[in-house]
Structure formats: structure tokens, C-alpha cells
Structure 1
């Protein structure tokens, strides 16, 4: 039976547990209420961090010499596959859960190079500020982890609360490796910005 987590709780992903950890699937889902529910575009993003919890590779540079994030350690709608070949994001799904995961991120945990020690999973409402959208209209948001056999290991559900109208993005959860053992952590930190880059800045090497 899957473990139900609360904010701040975690699960050790040990081989001895019997789970098939060659591949971990992170499934995310949500419902959007109201007449304009189809206008909501929620994006799943993964920050692939080194052992110090920082993101170093910001991808290819554009003509102005600025990083594009494409081909780097951020997996998102413009860069669905991590350069290691061991992390993939499913295509963008704008319809919400409807009984199934809206988006999935697959991670080959055992094959991921040792220099990577943490993966942070973020959800952001695309262009929310301009469209007047927020998590106040998002219901039944969840993140879950499934093993390589498709068995659900754990699930974290965010309850809709007063004040969510302020927030447009969410650091949902993370998986972290310590002493060779991965764990899944429920984070549940809301953010007012609708730009996942603003969250990413807190994971850069020079972040305070």
C-alpha cells in the first residue's frame, strides 16, 4: 500500500524495501475549477542538482551569450530530456489529471551519475500573472512516486487552503541521495512568482 505523506515528511527508497528502483516515475496531477479551466497551463519542471544541492549547467547559450536552459540540468517543456539520458519529462498536458497523471518525469535512479545528488520537482502555472490565474483555482494537486514495476510507493497531496490565490508556482517535492540511498521528500512550498526561473535562482551556486 502506498505511503501517504504530509508536508516535510519523506520515504527512504532502499533496495531492501522490495521496490524496483531502476526507474522511478514521478507523476503529477491536478484539477482546475471554473469555466476557464481549459485556459490553465501547468508545467512540471525538474532541477537536477549536484551533491551540494546546486544547479550548475544552465544549458546552451543564445546569441547574446545568455543561458537558454536547453540541454542543461533543468528538465522542462523546452528541454524534455536530461543530457545524462536518465531523466525524461512527458510532453506538456494542459488538461489536468482526469484520473491519471497530467505529467510524468521518469528517473533512472541507479544509472544517474554520482555527481547528481538531488532532483527538485516544481510546478508552475504558465503566464499566470498576465492571465489572472493562481493556485486558488487548482484542486486535488498531488505528486506521487512509482517504482519500475508501476507500483505506487508514496503520494503527497496538497490541500486547497485560503490564501492560495496569491501563489502561481510550487516546489512540490524532491528526491535526494545521501550515503548512496535515495529518499523522497514532500516539500510543498508555494511561490508568488509564475516564473520557475525565479525558483531556480535559489538553487544556483551563488544563491544565498
Structure 2
């Protein structure tokens, strides 16, 4: 049975699940009905971060225009431009054994594409969640439902997976930013 986490909680992934070699990070959301005239296009991105808290190079930033790390340790399965339907809207596959040794943390983020021009923010998004599944058997290990009200934010750090004593752990972050993907890139040391 999956563990439900709240903002700020952390849990061990690989020590408690010794057979976990690859994980699927599934992200989902719905949008409130509003008369804005434009669809919501939420985008998942991954920042593979070193011990200094920054991304070392562009290949360690996985998003809709760079779907896979050269090591195949992190693979984005593709951009869902509407979020329609049930279940995961976007997914990230992580192969823990292939993550380069200089990576200490994998931050999973979501942004609203063209949010400023479309007058959109996360206050108009509901039922947002992230879940971790064992890729080998599709068993859900944990789930984090985002319950905060982000009335002006256009970017979120949803969760982080991080290395501790050669094991991987999960942290339910739920931290909002204004400025979309650009502000997240700057937060992780990337020049935009």
C-alpha cells in the first residue's frame, strides 16, 4: 500500500524498497473551469543538481526540449499539453544505478507554459499530485497530493529525490515560485 506524504515530509526510497532499481515519477493535475480563453499547458522538468545546489551543465536539465539525460538515468516520457484525462499527465523515469556520481539531488518541478500572457497561475490548478512507482511492477510506493493554494505562483518544486549514505530518499517540497521556468533555472544556477 502506498504511503501518503504531506508537505515537508521525507521518506527513504531505496533502503525500504531494496529491489527498486528504476522508478516512475508520475505527475497529474486538473484545471479549474475559467473563462481565460486558453488551455493550460503544464510542463514537468527535472534539475539534476550537484552538492553545491546547482546544475553543472545543460544536459543535467531535462524538460520538453531535452527529454533524456545522455546516461539514460533520467527520461521524460513527453509533454502532455492539456492535462486531460485520468491518471498521470506526465512521467519521469529514473534509473538510480545510472545517475552520475556528481548528482546529489533530482528536483522534479512543474511550470505553466506562457502563464503570464495567459493570465494563469497554480491557484487555478486542482488535484495536483506526484507519485512514485516501482517501474518493474508498477506498484505505487508513495504519493504526495499538493494541497496548498498557490494564487500567484507559475512554477513549483514538487519534490526532490536525493542521495544520502548511498541510498535515495524522497522529499515532498511543494515550494512555489513566480517567474515560471526561468525563475527555476536561475534557482538551480542555469543561465537563461
Q: TM-score scaled by structure 2?
A: 0.91
Residues 92 and 103, structure 1, Cα contact 8 Å, conserved in 2 = yes
Distance 1:9 1:160, change over 3 A: closer
SS in 2 for 1:166: coil
What is the deviation of 1:33? 1.5
**Structure 1 runs, 4 residues or longer, greater than 2 Å off:** 17-20, 35-38
In the TM superposition, what is the alpha-carbon distance from 1:98 to its structure 2 partner?
Answer: 2.6
Q: Residues of 2 paired with 1:205 and 1:95: CA distance?
A: 27
Could you say which residue in structure 2 is the equivalent of 1:48?
A: 48
User: Does structure 2 conserve the Cα–Cα contact (< 8 Å) formed by 1:168 and 1:193?
Assistant: yes
Equivalent residue for 2:152, pick from 166, 169, 174: 166
| Unpaired stretches in structure 2, ≥5 consecutive residues | none
Structure 1 or 2, whichever has the larger Rg, is: 1
- Is 1:198–2:183 an aligned residue pair? yes
Corresponding residue for residue 144 of structure 1: 131
Match of 1:157 among 111, 122, 145: 145
Is the CA contact 1:122–1:170 (under 8 Å) kept in the aligned structure 2? yes
SS at match of 1:197: helix
2:57 corresponds to? 57
Determine if contact 2:9/2:171 at 8 Å carries over to the other structure.
yes
Q: For the residues of structure 2 that align with 1:14 and 1:133, how far apart are their CA atoms?
A: 37
CA RMSD, Structure 1 to Structure 2 (Å): 1.9
Q: How many residue pairs get matched?
A: 189
Kept in 2: contact 1:135–1:166 (CA 8 A)? yes
CA–CA distance in structure 1, aligned partners of residues 148 and 33 of structure 2 = 15
Cα gap change, 1:118 to 1:197, in 2 (>3 Å): same
| Counterpart Cα distance in 2 of 1:160 and 1:46 | 21
2:73/2:97 contact within 8 Å kept: no
Segments of structure 1 that go 5 or more residues without pairing to the other structure are 59-71
Tell me how far 1:111 sits from its aligned partner.
2.2
Cα offset, 1:35, TM superposition: 4.7
Supply the distance in 2 between the matched residues of 1:115 and 1:14 (Cα, whole angstroms).
19
